[in-house]
Amino acid sequence: MLKLSKMTDYAAVVMARIAREPDSAHAAIDLAESVQLPHPTVSKTLKALVRAGLLESRRGALGGYRLARPASQITASDIISAIEGPVAVTECSHADGDCELVNTCGVADNWQRVSYAISELLGSVTLAHLASSAPLRMPVQLPIQAISLYGDDEPPPMATAADSTGKR
């Protein structure tokens, strides 16, 4: 199962909470209470989000956490990357992958295409979308549909000449 960590889920929940009141400074303790997570967990998450440049923090009586940029300019991919690192399906799916089999496995190019499609989709979902109470509308065309896994003149495996002409 492809699954994000609990910390990434918590980061999205905390970011969405802040995005719903973008003009307010949010104290860690208040955020923890409002999202019903332990204060140390929220504090750790907030620090990672500040390090990633997604949040700004200010100390003092009027301090707290705010979005570093508008919610419409922060993506699900940004939030995931802040906690988990670059989004990639397999080791060979990102530029600095360290897979010994990449030259002989025969599936690296296709895994890279899948990883790219997932990254594009996560990059199209903004924090504003996540924070909205309206259901998220998926794009009409998912990125994977636009990526040919086969050459332009090469039919998919198991295709026959009859398949390409429409005759059976």
Task: Dump pLDDT digits (tens) for 110-166.
Answer: 888 888 888 888 998 999 999 987 776 765 455 555 555 455 545 444 444 444 444
Query: Domains, the chain, ranges and CATH?
Result: 6-146 (1.10.10.10)
Please answer whether residues 129 and 75 qualify as being in contact, where contact means their C-beta atoms are separated by less than 8 angstroms: no
71-77: average pLDDT: 96
Percentages of the chain per state (helix, strand, coil), in multiples of 5: 50, 5, 45
Q: Tell me 56's DSSP state.
A: E
Output the pTM of the full model.
Answer: 0.76
Please answer whether residues 82 and 117 qualify as being in contact, where contact means their C-beta atoms are separated by less than 8 angstroms: no
How far, in whole angstroms, is CA 36 from its chain's centroid? 23
Residue keyed to tokens 């030259």: 103
Please answer whether residues 79 and 8 qualify as being in contact, where contact means their C-beta atoms are separated by less than 8 angstroms: yes
Please answer whether residues 31 and 18 qualify as being in contact, where contact means their C-beta atoms are separated by less than 8 angstroms: yes
Please answer whether residues 88 and 102 qualify as being in contact, where contact means their C-beta atoms are separated by less than 8 angstroms: no
Q: Tokens for 21?
A: 């009141």
SS3 category, 67: strand
Task: Dump pLDDT digits (tens) for 7-63.
Answer: 999 999 999 999 999 999 999 999 999 999 999 999 999 999 999 999 999 998 888
Task: Dump pLDDT digits (tens) for 97-124.
Answer: 567 776 777 777 788 888 888 888 899 8
